[in-house]
Amino acid sequence: MTDTVVRPKKPAMNKRTPAGGAPTAAHTAAEAHEARIDIPAVTDLLLGTWAATRREAREMIKDPVFWRVEGQPMAEHRERTLSQLRLLAEKGASGRAYPKEYGGQANDGANLAGFEELVLADPSMQIKGGVQWGLFGSAIHQLGTAQHHEAWLRDVMNMDLPGAFAMTEMGHGSDVAALGTTATYDAATEEFVIHTPFRAATKEYLGNAALHGRAATVFAQLITGGVNYGVHCFFVPIRDENGQNLPGITSEDDGVKGGLNGIDNGRLAFDHVRIPRFNLLNRYGDVAADGTYSSDIASPGRRFFTMLGALVQGRVSLDGASTTATALALHIAITYGNQRRQFDSGAGTEEVVLLDYGKHQRRLLPRLAQTYAQFFSHDELLRKFDGVFGGTHDTPAEREDLETLAAALKPLSTWNALDTIQEAREACGGAGFIAENRFTGLRSDLDVYVTFEGDNNVLLQLVGKRLLSDFAKQFKGADAAKLAKFALGQTAGKIFHGAGLRQFGQAVADLGSTARSVELGLRADQQHELLAGRVEQMVSDIAGAVRPASKLPAADAAALFNEHQTELIEAARAHGQLLQWEAFTDGVNAIEDDDTRQVLIWLRDLFGLHLIENHLAWYLINGRLSTQRAAAVSRYIDRLGARLRPHAQDLVDAFGFEPEHVRAPIALGGERERQDEARAYFAARAEAGDAPVSEKSLKKK
């Protein structure tokens, strides 16, 4: 740890000359005599609105007690994670979102920001904390009322009451409305009877269910007076103080998982378990003592989605945690790629630094650009979340936008985490596979992020449906001529304005930098036109294709939608990418320092062009790019890679990770030390004149 390249405080510290010989390319901005980013300023930018809380969390987790122990057996890891949660509670890191009267800060944005950073220490701790305070506790907080807060929130916060969030069942994951568990009201005793009527209704994959949970927030079909009022949430005690199951409760252990083995996931089944009427979390629906059901929300469908929407924070936090974990992987791989040498170039005796290889740049730099985009879009998501949950912008429309935005961004960032962590691991070769270098543990733990808190493909379908319904709204009251024009596909682009989250063409109002990136006619506004135009046309095309469904029998209509399911998901993905691009662009435009802005514009361009390259066939088929322009995209990306290469280290240093967050030996200077030692050895042999000559050189004579 002698050569910590992590987070230089001043630009001057960032000046590095590769030891020995001339480099094959400029490795730093200084060498390239180029614009340089102001690293601390970029760190501030990336840490975003709640930077102070993030710094506080990062400082706290410098303590090794919070670090993942690679290879730790499951039973020990579970106990360690439990003790870490108690420690988080002690340190006041458990409930920044909760009301001040229970020791919280009533600060939703800061709460998630702080939690997201825990992924750097151990994702098991992050997710078990999420189960306890973000799901179990949040269900009480968001779905319950003051009496429930008073009864349980203090104990939830301080870990005296560890709990499980019992929504998913063996038979139903994403389709929550179809859950099998029942909660039948018995007016005679003023109790609900919680019951698992068949094996498939067993609650499944619940953190805290196998061992540590004392209670659970159980989602069940509320039945009273012979009527099923749909899924509601109930507080159900499951274990006594000695950890023994209460009567009627059966728990099972999910055992070893692909990752997150610090969490005791398991199953819960209920055999006519009776709980007091009080235990219905009754913010959105209540049952009177006589069994009469009441709710402020008349529509069963809207009530159901309101309850689910109250739990959106899990998705929001996964978007942030994935982005932070991805940044860590890139920090490690790029730092190593900037030091590790392999093969001489044929041009001399000095071996080439990995990051000088064209392919290596192609592997890592577009993913770096993607990660930067995510930091900006996540901060936007978090601000929207804070506005809605903090009450400053809490309208039904804002809530709906928040849910759509979370559903659009969480899939992209969680998939990108797996993709980028894996590419980073491969870019480090065998060293990347050794657990101490972090990649394999991060990847295993984050694997399930793509299917929990909403399966990514299911979430993207929700976004796609929202895009379709927004599209349909454009036609409300439209006259026949307008519809006819649409049918011809001539004006679809003009009348469609997307998911209502941001008006296309307005977000990028003042770029202030158009002169710099005129190259090849792929400037910011043209990138935006291409990205936004694709979303518009895809949605318009799908809408046209499924329009006959309204006149078909249900089975045929379902089949028609099913034929376009893949395209709908793809349109939603394109929409999410557009939002990321817009957030990145807004963020870049706000930068005052010219040099920093210049470099980040190159990075934003790399992000935008990489998205366009990934869908180049679509642009060609739809006549949005000429073949000449299309062919130029890849060449431009290669040039941007070469241009950004001297800034790569600065850009990952700007993530602001310190050695206690990085921990990977390959990114803490060991590789460079070994190279220096080897070089010194050969130099000494040459000086002493006792180096063997090569057979080849003899043959030449």
Comparing CB distances to a second copy, the nearer of 420 and 589 is: 420
Tokens in use for 628? Answer: 């000449």
**C-alpha neighbours within 13 Å on the C-beta side of residue 176:** 22
C-beta of 71: minimal distance to a second copy in Å? 3
> Which are the contacts of 66, defined by CB distance < 8 A and separation ≥ 6?
60, 84, 87, 118, 121, 122, 125
Comparing CB distances to a second copy, the nearer of 374 and 675 is: 675
Comparing CB distances to a second copy, the nearer of 153 and 179 is: 179
Comparing CB distances to a second copy, the nearer of 343 and 479 is: 343
Which helix or strand (DSSP H or E) is residue 205 part of?
A: strand 203-206
3-state SS string for 120-169: HCCHHHHHHHHHHHHHHHHHHHHHCCHHHHHHHHHHHHCCCCCEEEECCE
C-beta of 237: minimal distance to a second copy in Å? 25
Comparing CB distances to a second copy, the nearer of 43 and 174 is: 174
* Among 577, 606, 583, 573, residue whose Cα is nearest residue 508: 583
Comparing CB distances to a second copy, the nearer of 221 and 377 is: 221
> Which are the contacts of 408, defined by CB distance < 8 A and separation ≥ 6?
459, 460, 463, 499, 572, 575, 576, 579
* Rounded Cα distance, 129 and 76, in Å: 17
Question: In this structure, are residues 233 and 164 in contact, taking their beta carbons and an 8 Å threshold?
Answer: no
Q: How far apart are the first and last CA of the chain?
A: 46
C-beta of 246: minimal distance to a second copy in Å? 24
DSSP summary character for residue 239: B
* Among 109, 140, 93, residue whose Cα is nearest residue 236: 140
Comparing CB distances to a second copy, the nearer of 43 and 457 is: 457
Tokens in use for 384? Answer: 């929207």
Tokens in use for 694? Answer: 């090569």
C-beta of 402: minimal distance to a second copy in Å? 24
Tokens in use for 605? Answer: 């361009």
Comparing CB distances to a second copy, the nearer of 50 and 234 is: 234
* Rounded Cα distance, 81 and 471, in Å: 47
The position carrying tokens 């093969």 is: 343
C-beta of 301: minimal distance to a second copy in Å? 8
C-beta of 559: minimal distance to a second copy in Å? 8
C-beta of 384: minimal distance to a second copy in Å? 27
Comparing CB distances to a second copy, the nearer of 236 and 428 is: 428
Comparing CB distances to a second copy, the nearer of 502 and 564 is: 564
Q: In what order do the strands lie in the sheet with 249-253?
A: 203-206, 266-270, 249-253
State how far the alpha carbon of 28 is from the alpha carbons of 23, 298, 507, 520, in Å: 11, 62, 33, 26
Tokens in use for 211? Answer: 């061992």
C-beta of 146: minimal distance to a second copy in Å? 26
**φ and ψ at residue 331, rounded to 5 degrees:** -60, -45
C-beta of 280: minimal distance to a second copy in Å? 15
C-beta of 449: minimal distance to a second copy in Å? 10
Comparing CB distances to a second copy, the nearer of 481 and 621 is: 621
Q: How many residues does the chain have?
A: 701
C-beta of 124: minimal distance to a second copy in Å? 13
